[in-house]
Structure 1
């Protein structure tokens, strides 16, 4: 039994489950959870609040659909989760639609329902214990009816993320096996010792299904939160679903590997190399630079000859030359060794710059990475959650300090000390003309502006870049630069004909029942998963060798692919929906639109994200794009390329 205590708007009273039947409930969960257990507990909750004379409501607004909810997650474990929402007192007291809500009042209601939950569980414990026993036996039955019999995952080039996902599975007591032999499935190679097999038929089938499977069929079209929750896509790992049981399974896995960093080949007097494909490679880069080591990155792949055998290094691979450092040779080795352990990555030492294949280590395509100095705009208007997510990825994952600048202080802030400036989703209306102009000058003087979601719209509308948005209102590509918007606003409407308009043209809105306003929620994108293609040769796409990328979207910023063919780093596919709900109109907007665009501005550049790549710091497949933007963005010198004019503009 798990209770999830929450606050909601002050003018709301009190909410507890059950949720709206069927439409907001998960089909994987036994109906008894919703129709028997939740209803049973609701009687205890209602009785407790009735005795206090407190108002409450059920079966509206909140859904019980996604396993990422605190109250739905226990349902996937054979338990029962309960959500309580109380009108917030925001500390001590707050005035709302039901009078002044005080802190003791909100605490009293939560305590009353919490104790009622315990009382209901104790008095009917046999009911709940029987449900738990039946839950796991019915899971095996459900797995037997499902076509997928096993899931294979693993990325030989990224042991960090592979191991992290394995740890997640083992934490949930999911049965996992080593892959018995190297195989090629769905045009992907899974290497023995670096990939794993998860059988579907196991007591934790429902959690396994939620981690790996996509869902696009729902009973409703209005949701409180995320509708695309599969984790395999979030980690960006190669995955294959197998419909037969002939796959060779190795030994059961009970403990994840302990990753230890090392330097293969030992000390070198020439250079150390690190593939950028490892999720922790950016962390290693930051640590090396903070220790005073100069680091370069390869803009083209190469094959290095090592003492053991030739090794391929892809786009973005790090090169640490020894002779050109300001540090002694042995100090460089000590730092590289320490960083390898810190980031749990494997460096390779080489004693020659002459490559077996591809570019040599002294090529102009091996460029020095400047040490990142980044800042983040925060304050009124910015999305607090996205601010926290961006800060966490930078400071906690990378170890990169991220200065925070209040919107009200932009005019006084020394932007020149920063190489990158991050704007997350939200409103930037608080920035006056002087502040906007200051940011514009900073970009054109060589700065790297990184914008997410609405901030990308803001940068386009302010004319900081010449890219365009796809406007949902007219369904076509629209010119939304500041100049175009100003012209449109200043242009008087064309005179209308003098004849009497037809009845169908009368300027009256079609009558709609007031209650139907709830349907406006169908226009929102609560949180769903989409397929896109990435350019792995662009620095923003370095390390993502697989051109296919899964993106989480919970906003309605639609970017037009750039006219510069080199500038669209990530683009949604023609049929992008993978998992979750999206309206047909929004799906048309997303199809073929740009997810990440790099735009030149003077000697600087703006990196526009249509979405939030850092969502809740579990979308590791896309937060690599963000870390690349922070660390490698300043290296981008975008070629102009031939101008491509969209067909609809011809």
Structure 2
């Protein structure tokens, strides 16, 4: 068997012969078919190999399905040798690295393609852009590279991209059918938009829940580009969208960022007008919520933009639009390639201005931070696991924080009460100052109530981190001194209990880390119990839900019992307490009937047509990536044949279950529940069951009608204007709303919580 070629051999092979156009390399014309991600990567490697003094392929990670993630770094020959200096220079200009930055170096433009997998034109267009950047005969592009460094991410979401491309290439007709009724325009569930876990990566920039996002943003923060463009597609009957963005703008989008949206828009207008291509600006795509590939970079000092080409998953190779035109993949490629080029040109020709304003942005952030609040305090008394999650999140964002050195009182906004009041600052509280490079991002992420100029917005309107993480926190209008490092007692970590061979180990049930700890113990065959009632032992108070791991009952583990329990606690971040006796000073003793054994449940979740892909993906990701707990995934196509008696818990994510559960299948579900099965129905699943007998679910209808005196006086008041239709569509939505919910924490479902959350 021949040896597999190594990386050096592969690069040498790619460099052999002349630089090829995409068509020459692939063997077909761009736009005549969709290209798998592996071939896009191969072409990128080919181009890089032919421009060794101008291009570099940098792998920054991999997807959950083990596909590579990489960017291509592009510069002039003169600047290529200084790439590391240019990246460090941006960070020095931002104040994230010591030393003075220079505005004499090139500006950096980062172009991201195909974050939504079935918006597959982006990865086709990037091959043309790569060729143009490497082509020595393209004098204009070579001139642009004198003043800009270009980073291209050819495919942000390879898993979703290949899910779409593999499907389309399998079903397409030999002659592409433009009719929107042809099956090649009807992507099956779940579609290629999402990543492996069916998360929308374009809504993950701020939260970084997904592996792809964390890896990409780690590299992004090394560069801090002055311009970031995010390439998308929208419905096939639309034209093309580029900046300037629609309102509402977040209040922290600076005047220069708003103005430069117009500047780049003018570059795009010019090329689109020259070709008589249709386009629109200042509609639909706003700059408000921090979750996107335009807003999150904007709050990190860049000019962040979205580009939207009409097409997307339904468009295929040819699509008959309602206006009578036929939209082709080749046209879509041409538009994205032209917008990419215009963005690079605008960055190059305004590099001085971009770097000057970039430096000003961060200088202002450090010295004159915007907003009412100057310090955010996260109480050290929060659960250690929650604090660990919180500080890890801040670290990923490169948000600096310190620790309160002593007790103090201050006036501030209490996130839990929603009121401005006198708050008590305790030693070791986490202190996030606004006097730092990332203060704009801090303000946006922490602000209790974002200022919204218009409710007609593209997405969520509330997201404050203390609410998202469920931590006690305060926002102070004053600057608070903080120590750079925490005392040892403030470090958040698991505890290897000191007693060598205790009677039992106790762990409080307060955070996701504790759930992960329990998950690992159960999978290691450790017998665990939980306290139904509060108790006290050896000077410590334990709330209902606390875990009890006794030596009794675990004799089969022998000498490895202690090491196993302690190792899993350290790994999960759970604090263990070792006790020498089973006696409790208050409440039930550890052998009481109120300390109940935990059986390892068999859990299943339903997926497939009829369920919402992202709702299922949330459950799937939660069990696999956050809990590390085994989960059986059941398809709706064969659900009626599954013996539910094999499972203890069944999760129905959001969806439309009318076809999933016809009457006979519903009877089987009822029988399983009556036999002790635990059913978790979410959103649409709960609504579906609320209409069915025996499930005992109640709905509360929303108030309707206007019984006011004004309405009675003017019976036509209720008539609605046609022009307000879009705004009326938002009336019953609560995007991003955050509610305080009262809890019955005597119930096992609410163990570990307070009276409200």
Output the TM-score relative to the length of structure 2.
0.63
Task: Tell me the CA shift for residue 348 of structure 1.
Answer: 2.0
Number of paired residues?
511
Distance 1:52 1:361, change over 3 A: farther
Aligned to 1:93: 317
Structure 1 residue 118 corresponds to structure 2 residue 327:
no
Measured in 2, the distance between the counterparts of 1:70 and 1:136 equals 20
Q: Deviations over 1:574-609 (max 9, x none)?
A: xxxxxxxxxxxxxxxxxxxxxxxxxxxxxxxxxxxx
Partner SS state of residue 642, structure 2: coil
Asked whether the 8 Å contact 1:323–1:329 carries over to 2, the reply is no
Which residue matches 1:77?
300
Alignment partner, residue 334 of structure 2: 108
1:172-215 alpha-carbon deviations (Å, 9 max, x no partner): 3433221112567769776533x211223334322121122122
CA distance in 1, matches of 2:489, 2:463: 23
Confirm whether residue 536 of structure 1 aligns to residue 757 of structure 2: no
Q: Which residue does 1:439 correspond to in 2? A: 669
Aligned to 1:272: 505
DSSP-derived class of the 2:700 partner: strand
For 1:284, what is the secondary structure of its paired residue?
Answer: helix
Deviation at 1:63, TM superposition (A): 1.5
The partner residue of 1:311 within 527, 540, 545 is 540
1:343 aligns with 2:572: yes
Q: CA deviation at 1:31?
A: 2.3
- 1-side partners of 2:318 and 2:592: how far apart? 65
Q: Hey, what's the Cα distance between the residues in 2 that align with 1:5 and 1:350?
A: 58
Q: 1:386 aligns with which of 607, 615, 629?
A: 615
Q: CA deviation at 1:45?
A: 2.0
Residue 277 of structure 2 aligns with which residue?
54
Question: Which fold has the larger relative contact order, with Cα–Cα distance below 8 Å and residues 6 or more apart in sequence?
Answer: 1
Which runs of 5 or more residues in structure 2 are unaligned? 1-226, 415-421, 707-711
| Counterpart selection for 1:453 from 683, 698, 707 | 683
Match of 2:355 among 112, 129, 136: 129
CA contact (8 A) 1:188 1:238 kept: no
Q: Paired residue for 2:31?
A: none
For 1:631, the equivalent position in structure 2 comes to none
Residue 243 in structure 1 maps to residue 486 in structure 2: no
1:291 paired residue among 524, 531, 536? 524
Q: SS of the counterpart of 2:604?
A: strand
Tell me which protein shows more strand as a share of its residues: 1
Deviation per residue, 1:275-297 (Å, 9 max, x gap): 11143011111111111111111
- Write the distance in 2 (CA, Å) between the matches of 1:267 and 1:110: 65
Contact residue 10 and residue 94 of structure 1 kept, 8 A: no
Verify: 1:64 aligned to 2:287, yes or no.
yes
Given that residues 178 and 249 in structure 1 are in contact (C-alpha distance below 8 angstroms), is that contact kept between their aligned partners in structure 2? yes
Deviations 1:477-499 (A, max 9, x none): xxxxxxxxxxxxxxxxxxxxxxx
The alignment partner of 1:250 has SS state of: coil
Per the TM alignment, residue 38 of structure 1 is displaced from its structure 2 partner at its CA by: 0.3
Q: Deviations over 1:289-334 (max 9, x none)?
A: 11111111111222221xxxx2222221111121212513323223
Contact 2:407 2:427 (C-alpha < 8 Å) held by counterparts: yes
Task: Describe the shift of the 1:509–1:260 C-alpha distance in structure 2 as closer, same or farther (beyond 3 A).
Answer: closer
Question: How large is the RMSD of aligned CA atoms in angstroms?
Answer: 3.0
Asked whether the 8 Å contact 2:228–2:305 carries over to 1, the reply is yes
User: How far off is 1:7 after superposition?
Assistant: 2.3
| Cα contact 1:375–1:405 (8 A) shared by 2 | yes
How far apart, in 2, do the equivalents of 1:52 and 1:139 lie?
A: 42
Match of 2:376 in 1: 151
Name the CA distance, whole Å, in 2 between partners of 1:123 and 1:278.
Answer: 51
Larger Rg: 2
Q: Equivalent of 1:5, from 227, 231, 253?
A: 231
Residue 308 of structure 2 aligns to a residue whose secondary structure is strand
TM-score by length of structure 1 reads 0.73
The structure that is helix-richer by fraction is 2
The counterpart of 2:722, out of the listed 514, 517, 530, is 514
Tell me the SS of whatever aligns to 2:657: coil
Match of 1:424 in 2: 653
1:467 and 2:697 are equivalent in the alignment: yes
Match of residue 222, structure 1, among 438, 453, 456:
456
